[in-house]
């Protein structure tokens, strides 16, 4: 029996046919244990870590990260008995990684020189040379001797007597006379006729780009002096510095692929898009809105946070909204149903798998709390907290997103008042819970600042007519207006 086991991409349930390899948690040559996570795979519903079916050594990885693989295709080979020695003939042993193969250099067959010798090949394809010297690339050439025009050595009939040159004393420093600051010569209008200036002054003017004909000389007989040229040059420099900088014209805007981003539609986002299109064009949607005073809901939430049994669990207004939905379903069970086109029936569920829409890095998912109607308020709070934390980590299993019967989308966390949500496939109602904001509200005949929110309920009009949808939404609003009273009278 072969000791090399091929591990195929397993069927992760819910009719999924493929998955994308997000990341390998092991590499070739790693020793693994049974049920150790070895790869992270994104399906159309979630990202999951897949454990190994056998312990042993990773012999080969068939697919790289980023590859989409069909269910049942081999993704990795595992040597289940590495202590048994070399592999039998015909079996594949550990395969070197692409990185190690890329580092292998093949020496040339001809003209090979022992590695390490000067001028020979060195590791990495370099040429071995002395430190401080590069490889020899040109032919050496003798430098001409000094003393002859053509570089040849002179023929001497007698030894030459070399006389050491007498030391030359450094020139005494000359103290310049105090400079006389003269007004800058007028530069501008070009004069006609010859300009009086000495040759060194003319050369200086050419070097500095000064036109002597534009200067008024301050020397004898109106001649232009060195100082006149230098002052004119300094004035031109200051004028250039004071001139406003010329801003280059902006490049013309382009509207092509260089300014576009393409995001592959796959995984969770692809399935969400398909489901939303199918739901939007299959179930006739109706949306109703209700604005309610949730001041007492916020006060009840503060009381819950102060109670001992709730101090170690995260509480939010969503907890009381979820409780309101669950209690309203007891009054109107038809809301918790699905339309079966195959059998021509309406299937009313006696359990509520309450879905909570969650935004993740991979797209929108709707995991659900199984049989949420049977949970106590404390258990419901714990389930909501766990659901949110797992969704944020991207580790929600597909089973948590299957079988939903009724959903809530909390758009209020983004500061949105409400919306018109689309039904998840197979469900008949979804509630949008908007932001709770302080607003003016008529309370006991007076205008006061109250905590107000707006609810939006979308439902399948094939199952839920306007009357049923309105009563269901009204009961949710009544609960949020007075949650303590509702808990006492409804349960």
Long-range CB contacts for residues 94-102, cutoff 8 Å, separation at least 24: 94/28, 94/29, 94/57, 94/58, 94/59, 94/60, 95/28, 95/59, 95/60, 95/61, 96/28, 97/27, 97/28
CA–CA distance, 293 with 448 (Å, rounded to integer) = 11
Range of weakest confidence among 104-113, 189-198, 454-463: 104-113
Q: Provide the CB-side half-sphere exposure for 120 (13 A, CA).
A: 11
Higher-confidence residue of 33 and 154: namely 33
Summarize the confidence of residues 443-461 as an average pLDDT. Answer: 95
In whole angstroms, give the CA distance from residue 407 to residue 368: 8
pTM tops 0.75, yes or no: no
Q: List the one residue out of 400, 387, 403, 402 whose CA is nearest residue 349.
A: 403
Residue 178 and residue 207: Cα distance in Å, rounded? Answer: 26
How large a percentage of the chain has pLDDT more than 90? 36
pLDDT digits (tens, 9 = 90+) for 129-168: 433 334 444 444 444 444 444 444 444 433 444 444 445 4
Q: Which domains are delineated in the chain? A: 4-85 (2.40.50.100), 199-232 (4.10.320.10), 267-490 (3.30.559.10)
Tens digits of residue pLDDT in 321-372: 999 999 999 999 999 999 998 888 999 999 999 999 988 877 788 999 999 9
CA dihedral 115, 121, 127, 130 (to 10 degrees): 10
pLDDT at residue 204, rounded to an integer: 84
pLDDT in tens, 205-248: 888 888 878 878 888 878 888 888 888 888 766 665 665 666 67
| Residues with active-site annotation | 461
Which of 230, 228, 240, 223 is CA-nearest to residue 186?
228
| Alpha-carbon distances of 381 from 11, 163, 318, 477, rounded to whole Å | 32, 106, 9, 20
Residue 491 has pLDDT above 90, yes or no: no
In whole angstroms, give the CA distance from residue 340 to residue 283: 11
Q: Does residue 116 have a pLDDT over 60?
A: no
Q: Decide: 215 and 225 in contact? Cβ < 8 Å.
A: no
Separation CA 432–CA 124 (nearest Å): 63
Cβ distance 18 to 88 under 8 Å? no
Burial 422-446 (b: 16+ CB within 10 A, else e): bbbebbbbbbbbbbbeeeebeeeee
């Amino acid at each position: 029996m072969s000791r090399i086991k091929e591990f195929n991409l397993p069927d992760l349930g819910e009719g999924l046919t493929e998955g994308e390899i997000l990341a390998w948690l092991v590499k070739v040559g790693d020793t693994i244990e049974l049920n150790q996570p070895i790869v992270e795979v994104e399906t159309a519903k979630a990202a999951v870590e897949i454990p190994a079916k056998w312990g042993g050594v990773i012999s080969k990885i068939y697919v790289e990260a980023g590859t989409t693989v069909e269910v049942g295709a081999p993704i990795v080979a595992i040597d289940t008995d590495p202590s048994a020695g070399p592999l039998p003939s015909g079996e594949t042993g550990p395969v070197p990684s692409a990185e190690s193969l890329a580092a292998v250099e093949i020496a040339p067959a001809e003209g090979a020189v022992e590695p390490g010798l000067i001028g020979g090949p060195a590791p990495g394809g370099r040429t071995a040379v002395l430190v401080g010297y590069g490889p020899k690339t040109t032919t050496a050439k003798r430098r001409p001797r000094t003393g002859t025009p053509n570089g040849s050595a002179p023929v001497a009939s007698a030894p030459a007597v070399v006389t050491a040159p007498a030391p030359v004393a450094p020139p005494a420093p000359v103290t310049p006379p105090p400079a006389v600051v003269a007004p800058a010569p007028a530069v501008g209008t070009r004069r006609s006729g010859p300009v009086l200036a000495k040759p060194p002054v003319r050369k200086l003017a050419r070097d500095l780009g000064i036109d002597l004909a534009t200067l008024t000389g301050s020397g004898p007989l109106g001649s232009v002096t060195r100082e006149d040229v230098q002052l004119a040059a300094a004035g031109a420099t200051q004028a250039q510095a004071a001139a406003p900088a010329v801003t280059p014209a902006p490049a013309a805007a382009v509207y092509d692929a260089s300014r576009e981003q393409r995001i592959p539609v796959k995984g969770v986002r692809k399935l969400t898009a398909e489901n939303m299109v199918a739901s939007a064009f299959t179930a006739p949607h109706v949306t109703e809105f209700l604005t309610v005073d949730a001041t007492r809901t916020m006060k009840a939430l503060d009381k819950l946070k102060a109670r001992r049994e709730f101090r170690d669990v995260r509480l939010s207004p969503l907890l009381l909204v979820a409780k309101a939905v669950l209690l309203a379903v007891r009054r109107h069970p038809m809301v918790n149903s699905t339309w079966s086109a195959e059998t021509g029936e309406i299937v009313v569920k006696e359990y509520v798998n309450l879905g909570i829409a969650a935004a993740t890095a991979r797209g929108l998912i709707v995991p659900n709390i199984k049989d949420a109607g049977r949970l106590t308020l404390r258990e419901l709070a714990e389930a909501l907290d766990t659901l949110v934390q797992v969704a944020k980590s991207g580790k929600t299993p597909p089973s948590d997103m299957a079988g939903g019967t009724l959903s809530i989308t909390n758009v209020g966390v983004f500061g949105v008042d409400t919306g018109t949500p689309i039904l998840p496939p197979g469900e008949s109602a979804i509630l949008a819970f908007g932001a709770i904001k302080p607003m003016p509200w008529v309370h006991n005949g007076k205008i006061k600042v109250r905590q107000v929110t707006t609810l939006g309920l979308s439902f399948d009009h094939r199952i839920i007519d306007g009357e049923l949808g309105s009563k269901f939404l009204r009961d949710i609003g009544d609960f949020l207006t007075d949650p303590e009273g509702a808990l006492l009278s409804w349960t």
